[in-house]
Amino acid sequence: MMKNVRAVLMVLCMACVAPLAQADKVDINKADVAALQENLNGVGPAKAKAIVDYRNKNGEFKSIDDLTQVKGVGPALIKKNRSDLSLSGGATTGSKTGGSAKRASKKSNGNKTSSTKQNAAKQG
Does residue 118 sit within a domain?
Answer: no
Decide if 51 is inside a domain. Answer: yes
pLDDT band at 112, cuts 50/70/90? Answer: very low
Burial class (CB in 10 A: 0-12, 13-18, 19+), 85: buried
Structural domain of residue 61, as residue ranges? 26-92
> 97 near 124, Cβ under 8 Å?
yes
How many helices and strands, by DSSP H and E, does the chain display?
6, 2
Least reliable range by pLDDT among 13-17, 43-47, 58-62, 112-116 = 112-116
pTM for the model: 0.61
Please give the tally of structural domains in the chain.
1
CATH number of the domain encompassing residue 76: 1.10.150.320
Mean local confidence (pLDDT), 22-40? 88
Q: What are residue 74's phi and psi, to 5 degrees?
A: -120, 180
